[in-house]
Structure 1
Amino acid sequence: MTDDDKVPAAELYTEAFAADPYPTFARLRTERPVCPVGSPRFDSWLITGFDDARAALTDPRLSKDLYGPDQHYLRIFGPNSEGLNRNMLNSDPPEHTRLRRVVSQAFAPRRIEALRPRVAVIVDQLIDKIIPQGESDLMHDFAIPLPMTVICELLGVPPADHGRVLDWTQVIRTSGSTSRPPAEERAAVQEAQLRLHHYLADLVRAKRDDPADDIIGALVRAVDQDRTLSEAELVTTTFLLLFAGHQTTADFLGNAVLALLTHPEQLELLRATPRLLPAAIEELLRFDGPLPVASPRIATEDIDYQGVRIPRGSIVGVAINAANHDPGHFADPDRLDVRRVRGPHLGFGHGVHYCLGVSLARMEAELALSALLRRLPGLRLGVPLAEVRRLPAASPFRGLLELPVTFTV
């Protein structure tokens, strides 16, 4: 693969792409549905069509094992990542099966549904703080603290520690969006990762000394009773649940509210017909999901997609948001339609790595959006759309740094 073959970073890692990646995704899906891509961090291959994306997400030749003998994580995450990122997200069966089985019961739909009253209370408490102001940064005041509070309570993070855990995760989430020099930015992220790793290791030890009825407590018991997890895996699994349990939900909520505010006819339709909300959540996830490209995979052999040879050892990205706008599967895919009949979108992934927290994410989204529509009448953007600040295009997540809104009270 030569530099001339690659889609240059200048096309994919710009403010314009961060604001609206879908025209570029459409062009690639038509002209180069499987293509090499240059990036600021690592070169990769990008798959953009729905059928190919769905197939790639279950292709055993595309491995998720980044920490095996070839140590692909060094290219992707760097040398300091193993303490937090060596988890089930970056593993293949049977390791993935073993790790996922331990935590899957904690996210069973029946257990998650039992949390609904508590999540509803958290939603209302956050909105209670917003209402007297008449305006808000919904990311800071609502979209981020809601799923962070929920996952911290599920894991068993003491309330007094929620604030600093949130601070560390936000340093990681917003990497690349500050005005600091790149070296300072990297150092800040590494420090946040280190502090979070030490904190979680200490919390796990505390749970062993004082067992509790929470997810970390259950993981500790799994280690102590049948050695299902090693000590290191226990910490990395806790990190994955903490980060994945709030990051994508927070970004989804921000993206969803912004999509509704910029499509006022859909917003009013949803207000007038609340029964549409479950279908609307699926449509909003399809329309502008928080994970534009699935986490990296590695080609374990030469692979052909669309007649294009992806060489062994290549990093492969499956462009979920591009696939979810494929006109071969979704009529008029660039139109937001909360009445759209629910289709097989890839917003929660596909295959063995299908989102473990899907029931929790849907429940949080339903309660959050329902309460915002009901309790904040006249909700509208507080700044012109062009001034809404987003995560940088190089971020693995698609989300907002801020969402200024106003409303009537």
Structure 2
Amino acid sequence: MPKTDAPALFSEEFTANPYPTYRALRENEPVVCKRYAGERMQVWFVSRYEDVRAAFRDPRFRKSRESVSTGGLAKGRGNPELAAFHRTLIMLDPPEHTTLRRLVAKEFSPRRIRAMADKAAAYADQLVAGFRPAGKAELIGDLAVPLCYHIIGGMLGSRPEEDWPGFDWDRLRVLGNRLTTPDNSATTLDYDAIKFEIKALVEILIDRRRENPGPDVFSALIAATDRGELTPDQLFGLVVTLVLGGMDTTAAFLGNALLALLLSPDQLELLRSRPELMDNAVEELLRFDGAMQTASFRFTSEDVELGGTVIPRGAVVALALAAANRDPGRFPDPDRLDITRDATHHVALGHGIHNCLGAELGRMLTRITLETVLRRLPGLALAALPDTLDWRPGILLRAVRELPVTFTDEESR
């Protein structure tokens, strides 16, 4: 048992602040098997920075479930009608992963992302203008979510307010959240029902975009499918990855970044006075409280020794990004936000062949959001006690549900 007092994994205290628990794991059980909350399976947690980086590079830690030998994720289990959910980009290994990633990556070129920056800044200004006269706002629902859905959605070809009138985007977002937020009372059948509903909604998206193609990512992927370069299951998996992964994860990180600065007013003011630190600040904010607590599960294709412990073949493995990013062996004084720190080697966006495909898009949106908030919302302050904030539970996405703030509307004086 850990010697350091810390909340148990999956507890309410852990949800509110997982870092003491990750510290206890890192110091006392750096590679350890735990029962996954609400699931009849064991998960191996890896929490030290060097071990996490090593696992990212080790091909014996696979993404396909075919290596799993026991538990609810074992090969052959699950509803075959939902098999496409296990063909998403983050659940594939080379060579299939290499081929699909190369196909999608060209749609996320640096040039294309740079061209979106002005549009993102203009939309962020528009959102702020809508709530600024009130002197208060809820920055998740009023800024982070609509900005991500508008800009990322526009790039993908799924901007809700323009491309899909009458489509139930809120329902799709809620369903996606339920997949990444464990419910201890939920059964496999419950999750299958969620997936069937997501499947029906995503198929509507694909059908509508096929009927009305445009200069967007979805149209390009559909065209590739029609040319025989993708299978229908691969197309579905890519759309699910981009819709449910890209927009929700980026919005979650924007909330985390804003909150971290609000809770470190000296760093907020330093960034306001020294805007040249913005790029450095984004990397430090990713290290300090990134959107993903753990990487998506990996599976061992054979016995693997890591950190002096043998992880058996067929095991389910969670690389604890949040723990690795606060490893004092790599980042001195890791629990302190320091926007002057060199944090460029964090693992918040993964590492190796499975690093985040939309990393530069997320960085751009973070810079735009912070620049807009710092410029247009003087006197910004959190309008709730930190320990009253509501966090989404689980070990995957770390996201505060609401971020109420107040500020001074100087223009209205």
Give the match's secondary structure for 1:115.
helix
Of the structure 1 ranges 206-215 and 191-200, higher mean CA displacement relative to structure 2 is found in: 191-200
Q: Does the CA-based 8 Å contact 1:279-1:341 persist in structure 2? A: yes
Give the match's secondary structure for 1:335.
coil
The CA deviation at 1:184 is 9.7
The CA deviation at 1:258 is 0.9
Q: Which residue of 1 aligns with 2:245?
A: 244
Q: Which residue of 2 aligns with 1:405?
A: 405
Distance change (3 Å), C-alpha of 1:81 and 1:372: farther
Q: Does the CA-based 8 Å contact 2:172-2:201 persist in structure 1? A: no
The CA deviation at 1:164 is 2.2
Q: Which residue of 1 aligns with 2:171?
A: 167
Distance change (3 Å), C-alpha of 1:97 and 1:72: farther
d(CA) in 2 for partners of 1:372, 1:262: 15
Correspondence 1:4-403 to 2 at 5 A: 11-40=8-37, 41=39, 42-66=41-65, 74=73, 79=79, 81-157=82-158, 159-160=160-161, 161=164, 164-173=168-177, 182-183=185-186, 187=190, 192-225=194-227, 227-392=228-393, 394-403=394-403
The CA deviation at 1:28 is 1.5
Cα offsets for 1:68-97 (capped at 9, x unmatched): 796987369964753434211101000101
Aligned length: 400
d(CA) in 2 for partners of 1:384, 1:84: 39
d(CA) in 1 for partners of 2:10, 2:34: 11
d(CA) in 2 for partners of 1:185, 1:375: 47
Cα offsets for 1:84-127 (capped at 9, x unmatched): 34211101000101111111101011111111111112211211
Q: Could you state the TM-score of these two structures normalised by the residue count of structure 2?
A: 0.89
Q: Does the CA-based 8 Å contact 1:168-1:192 persist in structure 2? A: no
Cα offsets for 1:127-154 (capped at 9, x unmatched): 1222122212211111122112222211
d(CA) in 1 for partners of 2:68, 2:387: 46
Give the match's secondary structure for 1:245.
helix
Q: Does the CA-based 8 Å contact 2:149-2:159 persist in structure 1? A: no
Distance change (3 Å), C-alpha of 1:241 and 1:72: farther
The CA deviation at 1:201 is 1.6
Give the match's secondary structure for 2:22.
helix
Q: Does the CA-based 8 Å contact 1:44-1:316 persist in structure 2? A: yes
d(CA) in 1 for partners of 2:361, 2:158: 18
Q: Does the CA-based 8 Å contact 2:180-2:396 persist in structure 1? A: no
d(CA) in 2 for partners of 1:159, 1:331: 43
Q: Does the CA-based 8 Å contact 2:67-2:313 persist in structure 1? A: no
d(CA) in 2 for partners of 1:195, 1:281: 36
The CA deviation at 1:380 is 0.9
d(CA) in 2 for partners of 1:174, 1:377: 36
d(CA) in 2 for partners of 1:290, 1:329: 20
The CA deviation at 1:203 is 2.7
The CA deviation at 1:176 is 8.8
Q: Does the CA-based 8 Å contact 2:84-2:237 persist in structure 1? A: yes
Give the match's secondary structure for 2:44.
strand
d(CA) in 1 for partners of 2:14, 2:36: 13
The CA deviation at 1:348 is 1.0
Give the match's secondary structure for 1:309.
strand
The residue identity in structure 2 corresponding to 1:213 is P
Residue ranges of structure 1 left out of the alignment (5+ in a row):
none
Give the match's secondary structure for 1:222.
helix
d(CA) in 2 for partners of 1:408, 1:143: 20
The CA deviation at 1:200 is 2.2
Of the structure 1 ranges 74-83 and 346-355, higher mean CA displacement relative to structure 2 is found in: 74-83
Give the match's secondary structure for 2:137.
strand
Over the aligned positions, Cα root-mean-square deviation in angstroms equals 2.8
Distance change (3 Å), C-alpha of 1:164 and 1:191: farther
The residue identity in structure 2 corresponding to 1:49 is R
Give the match's secondary structure for 2:57.
coil
The CA deviation at 1:177 is 7.3
Give the match's secondary structure for 1:316.
strand
Cα offsets for 1:23-77 (capped at 9, x unmatched): 2212211111111112212311111111110010111111101267969873699
Cα offsets for 1:239-271 (capped at 9, x unmatched): 101122112211111111111111111111111
Distance change (3 Å), C-alpha of 1:321 and 1:120: same
The CA deviation at 1:385 is 0.8
Cα offsets for 1:295-318 (capped at 9, x unmatched): 000011111112211111110111
Give the match's secondary structure for 1:60.
coil
The residue identity in structure 2 corresponding to 1:31 is N
